[in-house]
């Protein structure tokens, strides 16, 4: 049996705003499962339900063989939760926050030190600093320590690296891998598509619906079209021109480049596309075939809905 099973889950607010629509997925024991999607996709609402903070309208959830609604007290003792906003006590020191959460869970820091040691080594030099004075990355590490101090079997992390610098984001994900090795099932949400590749499996979610569940590798393998990229002297003018492109394609800006997905024969299509740009007076760089990222796959799935 999976660590988590979610069946036919729906949630709306005031009967009008539909936050989640018929959500179904499972999470295996010991895996890092990522819920990947932009802001407003429904990730935090789903996490609040799975961590017993909200009731769904319909659906059934089983976590560690427990009914999430009926057995919510037992569920709370079996999970760790790091919410999307910093929720520790800013006026307490790093060490005082850790002692507080250990006491609240009727646990002891020394008993569970093996689980948090890799993180605590980085926090220890700041143990007497007030939590509110820590950097963004250090705040998240402290929050992670507090979520792990009672040795949970399942760890929920709601957008844990939002607002954190790129180096700290990478460091945080390295820490999650060490936590996974201690038989902890990790369920993490993120708006950063590049972080999806650090998960064992991912669920892509948009507007309250899951549009695909698979390994990051398979999501990329299932990309339907042929992806090309090139630069332009005026990306905004190029986007206006692309609205009149006669070829079957999807396109979108990607930083300073334009990504174009074609679905027809490669050589002929690219030649016709190059000619179209030439006729429209669009000066551009070399049109190159590239391997799609998770973000490209997400955009393609959304455009094909």
The two tokens of residue 173 are 């994900």
Q: In percent, how much of the chain has pLDDT > 90?
A: 77
Kindly indicate the confidence band of residue 266, based on its pLDDT and cuts at 50, 70 and 90.
Answer: confident
Q: What is the pLDDT of residue 305?
A: 67
Q: What is the pLDDT of residue 16?
A: 82
Give the separation between CA 48 and CA 45, rounded to whole angstroms. 5
Residue 151 DSSP symbol? -
pLDDT, tens digit (0-9, with 9 covering 90-100), for 10-60: 999 987 889 999 999 999 999 999 999 999 999 999 999 999 999 999 999
Strands of the chain, DSSP E: 4-13, 17-27, 32-36, 58-63, 66-67, 79-82, 154-158, 185-190, 201-206, 209-214, 226-231, 249-254, 257-262, 288-289
Give the separation between CA 236 and CA 300, rounded to whole angstroms. 21
Any bridge partners for residue 61, and if so which? Answer: 6
Q: What is the pLDDT of residue 268?
A: 87
Arithmetic mean of pLDDT, 187-206: 95
pLDDT at residue 265 is higher than 80: no
Closest residue by Cα to residue 232 from 250, 263, 248, 255: 255
pLDDT, tens digit (0-9, with 9 covering 90-100), for 165-182: 888 888 889 989 999 999
Any bridge partners for residue 227, and if so which? Answer: 261
Give the separation between CA 107 and CA 105, rounded to whole angstroms. 5
Closest residue by Cα to residue 231 from 279, 284, 270, 280: 284
Closest residue by Cα to residue 161 from 211, 198, 123: 198
Q: What is the pLDDT of residue 166?
A: 86
Q: What is the pLDDT of residue 106?
A: 87
Arithmetic mean of pLDDT, 62-80: 95
Q: What are the extents of the domains in the chain?
A: 4-219, 223-303
Name the average pLDDT for the chain.
Answer: 92
Q: What is the pLDDT of residue 239?
A: 95
Give the separation between CA 145 and CA 101, rounded to whole angstroms. 9
pLDDT at residue 207 is higher than 80: yes
| Homologous superfamily assigned to 223-303 | Reverse transcriptase/Diguanylate cyclase domain (3.30.70.270)
pLDDT, tens digit (0-9, with 9 covering 90-100), for 96-130: 999 999 998 888 888 888 888 888 988 999 999 99
pLDDT at residue 258 is higher than 90: yes
Closest residue by Cα to residue 30 from 188, 198, 185: 185
How many CB atoms within 10 Å of residue 109?
A: 16
pTM of the prediction? 0.91
Collapse the DSSP code of 232 into the 3-class scheme (helix H, G, I; strand E, B; otherwise coil) and give the result.
strand
Sequence length of the chain is 305
Q: Are 256 and 234 in contact (CB under 8 A)?
A: no
pLDDT at residue 278 is higher than 90: yes
Architecture of domain 4-219: 3-Layer(aba) Sandwich (3.40)
How many CB atoms within 10 Å of residue 14?
A: 5
Q: What is the pLDDT of residue 105?
A: 87
Q: Are 175 and 118 in contact (CB under 8 A)?
A: yes
Give the separation between CA 56 and CA 10, rounded to whole angstroms. 6
The two tokens of residue 91 are 């006026």
């Amino acid at each position: 049996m999976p660590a988590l099973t979610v069946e036919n889950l729906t949630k709306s607010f005031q009967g009008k705003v539909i936050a989640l629509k018929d959500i179904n997925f499972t999470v295996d024991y010991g895996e890092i499962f990522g819920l990947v999607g932009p802001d407003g996709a429904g990730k935090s609402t789903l996490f609040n339900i799975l961590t017993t903070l909200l009731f769904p309208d319909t659906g059934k959830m089983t976590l560690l063989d427990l009914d999430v609604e009926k057995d919510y007290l037992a569920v709370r003792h079996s999970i760790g939760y790091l919410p999307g906003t910093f929720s520790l006590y800013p006026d307490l020191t790093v060490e005082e926050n850790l002692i507080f959460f250990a006491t609240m869970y009727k646990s002891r820091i020394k008993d569970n030190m093996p689980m948090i040691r890799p993180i605590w080594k980085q926090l220890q030099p700041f143990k007497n600093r007030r939590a509110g004075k820590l950097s963004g990355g250090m705040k998240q590490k402290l929050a992670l320590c507090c979520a792990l101090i009672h040795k949970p079997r399942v760890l929920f992390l709601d957008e844990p690296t939002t607002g954190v610098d790129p180096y700290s984001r990478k460091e945080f994900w390295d820490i999650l891998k060490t936590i996974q090795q201690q038989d902890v099932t990790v369920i993490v949400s993120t708006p950063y598509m590049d972080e999806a590749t650090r998960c064992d499996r991912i669920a892509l979610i948009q507007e309250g619906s899951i549009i695909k569940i698979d390994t990051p590798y398979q999501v990329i393998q299932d990309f339907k079209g042929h992806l090309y990229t090139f630069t332009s002297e005026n990306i905004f003018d190029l986007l206006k021109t692309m609205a009149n492109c006669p070829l079957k394609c999807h396109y979108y800006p990607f930083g300073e480049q334009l990504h174009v997905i074609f679905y027809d024969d490669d050589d002929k299509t690219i030649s016709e596309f190059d000619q179209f740009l030439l006729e429209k007076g669009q000066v551009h760089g070399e049109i190159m075939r590239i391997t799609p990222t998770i973000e490209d796959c997400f955009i393609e799935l959304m455009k094909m809905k």
